[in-house]
Structure 1
Amino acid sequence: MPSRISLEDRESPLCAAAQHVCEWWTLLILQDAFDGYSRFDQFQENLGVSSSMLTTRLKALVADGLLERRPYQTNPVRHEYVLTALGRSLWPVIVALTAWGNSRLAPEERSMVLIEAATGEEVDPAVVDAVTGRRLDDSDAYVFTAGPAASDAMRARYRHRKREAAKRLSAGAQ
């Protein structure tokens, strides 16, 4: 029987990202951090998570460079957990996951929506190409391919995808 491959053994950047954030409590802690929570007791009260689980997840988030642990009180010493620049860079991911979750609900069933801070108007988030501004939610129009650092195995995996994409493009141009 083949041995199970761990996420860190996979070449995919999706696996690398999942290794850091794709755990239930991690995403919820990050959401709370974006909502302004920073102290252990705040996270624990809001999430209803055990102190041992919260301690484990906070340590991992600090080790991964997503949160910074800094003292806010000296006697006794207490720490707060603040998003780092790397942690803040996950904002679009949190927004996209939340939007995807909301897209499956009727508007009146949504417990949380994204608004523009200045106007209070609800927004409809979309992932777009930074160069063209085109939406990326059409999985037939966009495909992954091997990048410059890809191994031979990764290049072989995507070789056929590149040919298929080229065929679709030429068929669409006719």
Structure 2
Amino acid sequence: MVQRIGNHSVGVLLGILVGIVVSVGWFGLGQGIPVQATATHGEKNFAIATGFVDEEQEAFYFLDFLTGDLRAAVVSRRTGEFVAFFEKNILTDFSTLGKNPKFLMVTGLASIPRGKSPFQIGSSLIYIAEATSGEVSAYAIPWNPSLSAKGAPQTGTFVKLAGGSFRTAFVRDE
């Protein structure tokens, strides 16, 4: 009789434990946190990066060091083709460029309200630094989510949001 009660108690405890494990898995408490990443890569004369324009889409950014042309393209969710294009020549935004500028480019997330402007800023900022002068500028694209939802083309110019120098001494070109 005592053995029967002991076996019954072990069965109940085992059932409770299995129930807890199944419940935790069922409600997602045991799942990892989703991670979002962007990519950046550079070569001698250009850099490329990706960054989100909204929750579901990202842009491809391209910077040509020789011409100073910054370009972006976004693929349509409806057609799978590039439908949004943005560009700007950034050379005039850097006041102390040497003969052979050396740029670095990365993207970061942004949540900037529309404010008084007639457009919405995309969800990422593009930070461009010139390595010899230490100057940095932050850019964004004017993104229209309603045009994107329709699959309509978009074009525009990058908007410079901020800029400044992060180096106190100028480094001469070699």
Q: TM-score range by the shorter chain?
A: under 0.3
Q: Which has the higher contact order (CA 8 A, sep 6+)?
A: 2
Higher gyration radius (CA): 2
Higher-helix-fraction structure: 1
Q: TM-score, normalised by structure 2?
A: 0.16
Q: TM-score, normalised by structure 1?
A: 0.16
Higher-strand-fraction structure: 2
